[in-house]
Chains A and B, each alone.
Chain A
Amino acid sequence: MRSLFPHPALSVFLALVWLVIAGSWSMASLVMAVLAGVIVPLAIVPLWPDRPRLRHPLGLIGYILIVLYDVVRSSFAVARIILFMPSAEIRSAWIAIPLDLTAPEAIALLAGTITMTPGTLTADYSADGRTLLVHALHAPDPDAVRDEIKSRYEARLKRIFG
């Protein structure tokens, strides 16, 4: 089973995505959905050899809700900076974020989260993958931004990925 379905959750997800996009429950869509769910994970095994282990999968739901809330909040903050802050007052900064996370999937999730939330953007990672390079649109106190990212997002991801 393991060799036929290297990523079971991904298989189910792909089949569902196919059905939603096809928008019908006809036999043809169902067959294509199953094919997508079987073939795509098999095709990406060489690119993605290890399945990430989630210790607390349900924690992802809380994480997604927090991120969605922050996306809305950050959009208003960024909109205010764009509309009302004089260019000379915008304090952009580069911030290095040392990582405690080790799983590549968790780091990718953190990097994506940083890009989508309060005025920050992941720009690069260090050659050993242990630090993220983040750019902040307006950060008078770069250390506070680093600490917030570590406590608000990374700590939760660490719990989820174990």
Chain B
Amino acid sequence: MNLALEIVLSVFLVIGGLFGLIGSFGLMRLKEPMQRLHAPTKATTVGVGTALIAAGIATATSMPKEALVSLFLFVTAPISALMLARCHVWRAAKPGDLPKDANGVGWAVLKDASPPGRAD
């Protein structure tokens, strides 16, 4: 492996490490539960993403695998974030805090209803 490639890899790895650190730091620093949810869902995505890019460059043959890992990350991160956020809305949000929805039927987690087009 030549020097230029190693430098590129190191840059990606360091950026990844920094973003992972910032995401964790945000979890500690931010005060409200909903604010805390922002730190790991975003900063960490780039953290893991750059680490995967580095891994993909280092071993070109495993590139498709790294692409799949990123895809799974993009599919699963919003879902776990949604679950945590709904849990927070259900447990802790006071009715006055939340804005009204367009048709005034209320938010699903507080109504225990199903999304459109789906049966229970």
- Identify the A interface with B (CB < 8 A): 17, 20-21, 23, 50, 71-72, 74-75, 78-79, 82-83, 87, 90, 92, 94-96, 98-99, 102, 104, 107, 111-113, 115-116, 119, 121-131, 133, 135, 137
Measured CA separation A89–B40 after assembly (Å)? 20
Measured CA separation A133–B116 after assembly (Å)? 15
**B85 interface residue per 8 A CB criterion:** yes
Total contacting residues, chain B, CB less than 8 A:
53
Minimum Cβ distance to chain A for residue B112 (Å): 9
Quick check: B81 and A121 within 8 Å, CB to CB? yes
Q: A122-B85, A127-B101, A127-B107 are in contact. List 6 more A-B contacts (CB 8 A).
A: A78-B38, A94-B98, A96-B101, A124-B82, A128-B113, A131-B102
Residue of B nearest to A46 (CB): B119
Quick check: B46 and A90 within 8 Å, CB to CB? no
How many A-B contacts at CB < 8 Å in the complex?
Answer: 152
A126: contacting residue among B32, B107, B118, CB under 8 A: B107
> Beyond A78-B39, A128-B103, is A123–B45 a contact (Cβ under 8 Å)?
no
Quick check: A122 and B68 within 8 Å, CB to CB? no
Q: Which 9 A-B pairs have the closest CB atoms?
A: A129-B116, A126-B101, A131-B101, A123-B85, A115-B78, A98-B102, A82-B26, A112-B78, A75-B46
Quick check: B102 and A130 within 8 Å, CB to CB? yes
**B14 interface residue per 8 A CB criterion:** no
Measured CA separation A123–B62 after assembly (Å)? 35
**Chain A residues within 8 Å of B108, by CB:** 124-127, 129
Minimum Cβ distance to chain A for residue B42 (Å): 5
Minimum Cβ distance to chain B for residue A145 (Å): 12
**Chain B residues within 8 Å of A111, by CB:** 78, 82
**Chain B residues within 8 Å of A112, by CB:** 74-75, 78-79
**Chain A residues within 8 Å of B35, by CB:** 90, 92, 137
Q: Which residues between 86 and 119 of chain B lie within 8 Å of chain A, taking CB atoms?
A: 86, 88-89, 97-103, 105-109, 111, 113, 115-118
B29: contacting residue among A20, A78, A82, A119, CB under 8 A: A82
**B55 interface residue per 8 A CB criterion:** no
**Chain A residues within 8 Å of B74, by CB:** 112, 116
**B22 interface residue per 8 A CB criterion:** yes
Measured CA separation A10–B39 after assembly (Å)? 32
**Chain A residues within 8 Å of B41, by CB:** 115-116, 121
A-B contacts, 16 of them at CB < 8 A, read: A20-B64, A23-B65, A74-B42, A78-B43, A79-B43, A82-B22, A82-B26, A96-B101, A98-B102, A112-B74, A112-B75, A112-B78, A116-B42, A119-B38, A124-B108, A135-B38
